[in-house]
Structure 1
Amino acid sequence: MTSVDQKSSRLDEFLESPEKGLWKLAWPVMAGMGIQTLYTIVDMIFIGRLGGEAIAAIAFNMPLFFFVLGLTMGLGAGVTASIARFIGAKDKVNADNSAEHAVVMGVGISIILTIIVTIYGRDILLGIGAPESVIDLSWSYLRVICIGLPFMVLSAFFRSILVGEGDTKFPMTVAALGTVLNIILDPIFIFTLGLGVAGAAWATAISQITVFTIFIYMLFFKEHSYITFRLKDFSPSSYITKDIIKVGLPASMSMIIMSFGQLVFNRILIHFSTDAVAAYQISGRIDMVIFLPILSISYTLTTLVGMFFGSARMDKVKHIIYYGLSRSFMIAVVTSALVYFTAPKLVLLFTDIPYIQETAVTYLRLMAFVYPFVAIALPCGRILQGFGLGMPLLVITLIRVLLISSPLAIFFIFVQDRPLEWIWYSMMISTAVAFVVAVGWVMWALKKYSVQPTGVQHAKTQLKPNQ
């Protein structure tokens, strides 16, 4: 059986049993993200032993990290959706060409970002609010991270390509290997070699280079994937570029907006203290654990909705959307209860500073009430990407971050002089509004595509080879 036949049978398998297909794709994603989240937790525990200023130094790097992540994962979402729809339409030529476009984009983004951050990184950190007390620590971290930046970007594109073809196991295995290596190297560079915060960055950079090397070997030399990489045969296509960008650019912008939102909240929190920023970062790490299964389901829904939509099977599209959202909601209800009652013990893993503990616990217990709303709104954005719709996610994020949570937080703290927890209230309000908008948009899309031509006909008329 050829690789094409194997991949066709994978599509047929997903069509035959969407539920099994969802979990077959979701479990590897969950495992890989779980190990990655474990790393972020272990990393924060190690850095936390260096003190509150060390945590804050990393915190001021997070907006930059999310900016880069926004570009790569956003455009990667466009690649995933494009490849999934082409495979659903059984159009391998354009699926291959989409992947080749992704690699070219990744190289370009890597070069530009590395140059900018290397030259202007310290000034950027100062511009986003890093105080003099932590700027040296922040820059020592960012300067080293720049070394691994291009490898991180390209590896993210490789993962998006593989997820688009329905392979989540291999990319997540590779990512897991890199994460385990990072966890091993962290204490060596931070404590044994005495490099402190910069040591954490060295461990990360080495791990990113290792992951990239594995991807290059397996995809270009061993030809592991269904997608065939032949960059010498790369044919620039305006159709494919537009198909990727119409989903990828709004997704990138939405993540950049979230990065900006984190910047705003850091600036508001620094009004109280660097310990307040540290508490927010610790809470964010715990949030990542909570949303692991929900994120896994979300990423899987992009692939399955894209494939089923490309195959013109709206019955399967509706079925997998209902199934995915219902499971996501159930998981969130259970995890919300667990977090509410175990918050003090969870926070104690990261710090023994009373103020940071109290602030982080308050955040977690308040946000636990809106986690079920996030469990619906988050997958809805990815579902719409599967349809090839990128703007909804951008609009939802814009409403949540820039139009509601950030302005409300600024109003509560600087106008009404409210205590710190009112920042968390602003987040809760914006989450509820985002939930309503996201659900309404998915209902609109289902109604629209149930009565309009979709699938193979749509793909063939909108996305032509080599144009």
Structure 2
Amino acid sequence: MNSDIEKSKGVDQRISMVTGEPKKAIRVLAIPMIISMFLIMAYNLADSIWVAGLGPNALAALGFINPLFMIVIGLGNGLGAGATSLIARCIGAGSKEGADNAAMHSLILTLAVSAVFTVILLLFLPNILLLMGAGVTVGLATEYGQIVFGGLILFIFSNVASGILRAEGDVNRPMYAIAATAILNIFLDPIFIYYLGWGVSGAAWATIISSSIACGLLVYWLLLKRDTYVSFSREDFKASWNVVKNILMVAFPASVESLVMSILGVILNLILVITGGAEAVAVYTAGWRVVMMAMIPPIGIGTAAITVGGAAYGARNYENLSTALSYSAKLGVGIAVITGLLSYVFAGNIATIFTYSPESAFMAPSIAAFLQVMFLFYLTVPLGITASSIFQAMGKGFTSLILTIVREVAFVAFFAYLFAFTMGFGSSGVWWGIVVGGGLGCAVAYVWATIYIRRLKKNY
């Protein structure tokens, strides 16, 4: 009996926090999210660091897999965002039945989407890589990709299950699952890659095995322990196209956003291949892993804003929605200034992490130069991430998608081409294209979100 009371009290506290003061809720939710994402990037970075010792071709092979892997992660993030948004809106509106049904539909969609994309990627991976310009690295990229994409369901399920927990304010348990995954992956990488001599395949198997741990923990918490706000049983499930549509209205555009960014990654890789060969791709691959780590705080804050903004929108509390937008952006920019300065000052030291072997030492100056240029990119990213998150929170996924297309295609791809070819900057033109195009796109997104919420408040 006491155990049941404690469980109920914990759930009530989480729901009160999600629907309460938005600034506090965003801070409380964002911190575990940021820690979780740092752990994810840590084991992704570990892959790059250990694979870098195999030479630039092996590192470039990971670079060609990255856009495809981001599509997979995007599918999981999209479905997770759809689940978070709808469940949070149901919580804000006081509908537990709706939250339960949304959670059930999310898991069913996870199984269906995973099955389809696993088959597609395993059948057509070599051809896709050749179209992406993998060239001499296609063998290594295929070797790595077929193993990772064979376990595609692990990555999608982890994101969706975590999204369900985040919707009710439980961000600690997803963090614990990710921590177990990251630690195990970092430990297994050198063993599989070098000690057992499996090369890039070893990095892939380390990722798959460690990701299984997170899935096992999440299955236990959601389906076996049953101490969450949402519940899973046949009685809770009522098949509804409207529920599916509400999830997909966020999930599909969010997943397509990742596809758009992956397509941009392919475009940038092609420009880099033309202007600097596999070495330029390797520099970008290594440097971008560091950039992604610097972007984790604003992404974590934005993910928290989906929960808080969704609950506010469901309750029609547009003042809290406005606060969630402005506070998330300010907090993200403040942190970005600090991480950007650290990245700029210690760019040379960071570059040596990827160039510890004789085969890759020559890339150190280029990686350091890339990181110093990216300092300017960090400052505007929180604006775009926050705007997209708030639109997802409101169920306006297609608006978020439009903003991403404008940023990545109309701005970043255009300026990367302009600087690399028209202005003759070569490979470094891609870097400046990201800075200028990304900055303009993020500013447009934030202004759009601000105007949209002002109209909601005015018309309510």
Residue 50 of structure 2 is aligned to residue 46 of structure 1: yes
- Which one of 281, 286, 294 corresponds to residue 282 of structure 1? 286
Inter-partner Cα distance in structure 1 for 2:47 and 2:86: 35
Alignment partner of 1:71 is 2:68? no
Cross-structure match for 1:166: 169
Shift of 1:280: 0.5
Shift of the alpha carbon at 1:85? 0.7
Report the CA distance between 1:416 and its aligned residue.
Answer: 4.8
What is the Cα deviation at residue 4 of structure 1?
Answer: 6.0
Q: Does the alignment pair 1:32 with 2:39?
A: no
Q: How does 1:378-393 map to 2 (within 5 A)?
A: 378-393=385-400
Distance in 2 (alpha carbons) for counterparts of 1:8 and 1:148:
36
Answer yes or no: is the 8 Å Cα contact 1:3–1:226 preserved in 2: no
* Pair 1:231–1:366, CA change in 2 (3 A): farther
Deviations 1:363-393 (A, max 9, x none): 2211212311112221111012112211232
Residue number in structure 2 paired with 1:129: 133
Q: Tell me the equivalent position of 1:306.
A: 310
Q: Deviation of residue 14 (structure 1)?
A: 4.1
Q: State the one-letter code of the partner of 1:404.
A: F
Change in CA separation of 1:300 and 1:118 when aligned onto 2, cut-off 3 Å: same
Q: Secondary structure at the match of 1:336?
A: helix
- Residues 1:361 and 2:364 are matched in the alignment: no
**Cα separation, 2, equivalents of 1:336 and 1:228:** 42
Q: How far does residue 128 in structure 1 lie from its aligned partner after superposition?
A: 1.5
C-alpha contact 1:186 1:199 (8 A) present in aligned 2: yes
| Residues 241-288 of structure 1: per-residue CA shift (max 9 Å, x gap) | 121111221111111000000011111111212111111111111112
3-state secondary structure, aligned to 2:376: coil
Does the 8 Å CA contact 1:14/1:20 hold for their aligned counterparts? no
Task: Tell me the residue number matched to 2:181.
Answer: 178
Contact kept? 1:11, 1:307, Cα under 8 Å: no
Identity across matched positions, percent:
31
C-alpha separation in 2, matches of 1:10 and 1:354: 49
Residues of 1 paired with 2:376 and 2:246: CA distance?
A: 37
CA contact (8 A) 1:148 1:206 kept: no
1:402 aligns with 2:409: yes
Alignment of 1:10-409 (within 5 A): 10-131=14-135, 133-231=136-234, 233-271=236-274, 272-352=276-356, 353-409=360-416
Residues 236-245 or 255-264, more deviating: 236-245
CA distance in structure 1 between the aligned counterparts of 2:26 and 2:270, rounded to whole angstroms: 40
Deviation at 1:229, TM superposition (A): 1.2
Which residue is 2:433 aligned to?
426
TM-score, length basis structure 1 = 0.92
Could you tell me whether the CA contact under 8 Å between 2:71 and 2:262 is conserved in 1?
Answer: yes
Partner in structure 2 of residue 458 of structure 1: none
Distance 1:408 1:20 in 2: 39
Once the two structures are TM-superposed, the CA of residue 16 in structure 1 deviates from its matched residue by 4.2
Q: Displacement, 1:298? A: 0.8
Which amino acid letter does the alignment assign opposite residue 153 of structure 2?
Answer: P
Alpha-carbon distance, 1:448 to partner:
2.1
Q: Flag the 1:5–1:381 CA change in 2: closer, same or farther, 3 A.
A: same
Output the CA distance in 2 between the equivalents of 1:412 and 1:10. 49
Q: CA deviation at 1:15?
A: 4.4
Q: Residue 451 of structure 2 aligns with which residue?
A: 444
Counterpart residue type for residue 347 of structure 2? A
TM-score (norm 2): 0.94
Cα distance in 1 for partners of 2:202, 2:235 equals 39
The 1-side partners of 2:236 and 2:89 are apart by 22
Given residue 21 of structure 1, which amino acid in structure 2 is its aligned partner?
Answer: A
AA partner of residue 131 (structure 2): G
Secondary structure of 1:167's partner? Answer: coil
Q: 5-14 vs 182-191, which deviates more?
A: 5-14
Question: Where does structure 1 lack aligned partners over 5 or more consecutive residues?
Answer: 454-467
CA contact (8 A) 1:84 1:166 kept: no
Q: Secondary structure at the match of 1:278?
A: helix
Query: Structure 1's 17 and 233: CA in aligned 2 closer, same or farther, altered over 3 A?
Result: closer
Check the 8 A contact 2:407/2:442 in 1, yes or no. no
- Which amino acid letter does the alignment assign opposite residue 442 of structure 1? A
Classify the secondary structure of the residue corresponding to 2:151.
helix
Amino acid at match of 1:151: L
**Rounded Cα–Cα distance in structure 2 between residues aligned with 1:231 and 1:398:** 40
Q: Is the 8 A contact 2:100 2:237 kept in 1?
A: no
Q: Could you tell me how far 1:415 is from its partner in structure 2? A: 4.5
Q: Post-superposition shift, 1:355?
A: 4.4
Compute the displacement of 1:206 (Å).
1.0
Structure 2: tracts of 5 or more residues without a match: none
**Greater alpha carbon shift after TM alignment, 429-438 vs 232-241:** 232-241
* Contact 2:177/2:213, CA 8 A, preserved across alignment: no
User: 2:159 corresponds to which letter in structure 1?
Assistant: A
SS at match of 2:265: helix
Q: Deviations over 1:25-76 (max 9, x none)?
A: 1111111111111112222111111111110111111111011122221122
Tell me, in whole angstroms, the C-alpha distance in 2 between the residues paired with 1:160 and 1:9.
18
Query: Once the 2 structures are TM-superposed, how far is the Cα of residue 407 of structure 1 from its aligned partner?
Result: 2.9
CA contact (8 A) 2:65 2:145 kept: yes
What is the DSSP-based 3-state SS (H/G/I as helix, E as strand, rest coil) of the residue aligned with 2:238?
A: coil
Deviation, 1:209, is 2.0
Residue 3 of structure 1, CA deviation: 5.5
RMSD over aligned Cα, in angstroms? 1.8
Distance of 1:7 and 1:166 partners within structure 2: 9
- Give the aligned partner of residue 463 of structure 1: none
Check the 8 A contact 1:39/1:182 in 2, yes or no.
Answer: yes
Question: How far apart are the structure 2 equivalents of 1:147 and 1:263?
Answer: 22
Which of 11-20 and 32-41 deviates more?
11-20
Indicate conservation of the 8 Å contact 1:100/1:231, yes or no.
Answer: no
The Cα of 1:154 is off from its aligned counterpart by: 1.4
Partner secondary structure for residue 416 of structure 2: helix
